[in-house]
Amino acid sequence: EGPDVVQLKKALKKLGFFEGGTKNDVYGSGTAAAVRALYDSVGYEAPTAGDEAEEAVRAARDGVRAARETITSIESELKAAKQGPSKSELKSAEFELSEAKIELRRANKSGTKAEVRAAKFRVSMAELALKELKKPADTSGIQASLSAARESLGDAQSVLADAQQAVLTPLPASEIVFLTSTPRRVDDVFVTRGNRVEGAVMVVSGADLQIKGSTSAVDAALLSVEQEVLIDLPGGEEVTGQILEIGEADGAGAGSRVPVTIVPGELTDEQVGELQGANVRVRIPVSSTGGDVLAVPIAALTAGPGGEDRIEVWDPATSTSTLVQVRTGLAAGGFVEVEALEGTIAAGDLVVVGVEAARAAAESGSDDGESGDSDEPADSGESEGGDSEDADSATSSDGESEAATEEAEG
């Protein structure tokens, strides 16, 4: 008995094998019958307590039967004692007394002294016999015997109950595992029928595949539960998913990581097999420009004396550069969205990304539009997910900013 029995009853009831209540924590005959039905449903023979337990039940039943027979016999004796003498016995005693009195009167008239004494004695004995018959019977001894017999019956019944409990269909703890929730998926089986079990039998996992990963605390601030994600499968396919849970940062420093749990969308059996135990890359679009914008390499940004953002636009015709104050927007893939606040900049303009290289280009007097590593001709293109083919160009792009988690284990 105990809470484990309640847990078993609830499980058997959910499976349709147990019809009783689940609050009682005693493993009784109803529970044992449900366990037998469980084994029968999967084609296995239910475990038994053994021949010795069966013999103990038979012996206990014989003990109960004998105790009941003893009680029946004593109760009959007690009943007879309480009923008193029969009518015939009373009539016989009364007749004997009457005859004795007649004889005494006859002796008093004509008998000798010896005959009178004998007649008186006979009358006394007849009166005593009648008195004994009419006196209530003393049943105290019989009552004591009956009480002892009833105690013996109680002991015999306790022995029988224990024996019957011991012979109930058991449920070996090694043959069943309770899962906190269902359904579950069997991922691996280590035995075949007929093998001796010497270790783990199988591996099960949740029916819902999940991806556990992490991201920086800065990127985590851009995420939200139920946000759409993109998952790159090991086979090269891309599937969608959703953020299920965002955990707490593992520290307070700049390098702290935030755990993120992701649930893939609908998958084929092959895709499920790919994901199980695999490391995958997850991309999470956190914002979008909504259309074409002007973007420059992040390395082209510098800070002005007032902390304002600015870029240096290079004119290859005059070998001069102009500082243009800008407002920055979304950043991804090494590029940042810019909007000119003072001055102008257009797609295709060259921007300076290295002061020393720009100075060398100016000193060389180059007028062919090339300036080594300090600037690159701008081109107009599109960058999906913040990716760009030209890492040092000012481009016109319709991009999305993404926060990518580390490799996530599925």
- Within a domain: residue 397? yes
What is the percent of the chain where pLDDT is above 90? 22
- Within a domain: residue 126? no
Residue 275 has pLDDT above 70, yes or no: yes
Residue 399 has pLDDT above 80, yes or no: no
Q: Which of 15-29, 30-44, 371-385 has the lowest mean pLDDT?
A: 371-385
3-state secondary structure 380-401: CCCCHHHCCCCCCCCEEECCEE
- Cα 211 to Cα 216: distance, rounded to the nearest angstrom: 17
Residues 312 and 222 in one domain: no
What is the percent of the chain where pLDDT is above 70? 84
Residues 326 and 396 in one domain: yes
Picking from 233, 266, 286, the residue at the C-terminal end of a domain is: 286
- Interacting residues of 267 by C-beta distance below 8 A, sequence separation 6+: 209, 239, 275
- Within a domain: residue 258? yes
Q: What is the mean pLDDT of residues 282-303?
A: 85
Range of the domain at 272: 209-286
Residues 374 and 337 in one domain: yes
* pLDDT band at residue 325 using 50, 70 and 90 as cut-offs: very high
Residues 243 and 350 in one domain: no
Residues 310 and 282 in one domain: no
Residues 322 and 403 in one domain: yes
- CATH code at position 393: 2.40.420.20
Residue 122 has φ and ψ, to the nearest 5°, of -65, -40
pTM of structure: 0.38
Q: What is the mean pLDDT of residues 70-77?
A: 90
Q: What is the mean pLDDT of residues 285-310?
A: 86
- Cα 359 to Cα 355: distance, rounded to the nearest angstrom: 6
Inter-residue contact 71 to 150 (CB < 8 Å): yes
pLDDT digits (tens, 9 = 90+) for 344-374: 899 999 999 965 544 554 555 444 433 334 4
Residue 99 has pLDDT above 60, yes or no: yes
* pLDDT band at residue 278 using 50, 70 and 90 as cut-offs: confident
pLDDT of 356: 58
Picking from 258, 286, 314, the residue at the C-terminal end of a domain is: 286
Residue 404 has pLDDT above 50, yes or no: no
- Within a domain: residue 225? yes
- Within a domain: residue 267? yes
pLDDT of 371: 36
- Cα 129 to Cα 284: distance, rounded to the nearest angstrom: 114
Looking at the structure of the chain, the number of domains it has is 2
pLDDT digits (tens, 9 = 90+) for 193-233: 888 888 888 888 776 788 998 888 878 888 999 999 999 99
Picking from 242, 267, 286, the residue at the C-terminal end of a domain is: 286
Residues 321 and 377 in one domain: yes
226 φ/ψ sector (left φ>0, alpha ψ -120 to 50, else beta): left
Residues 331 and 405 in one domain: yes
- CATH code at position 256: 2.40.30.170
Residues 282 and 309 in one domain: no
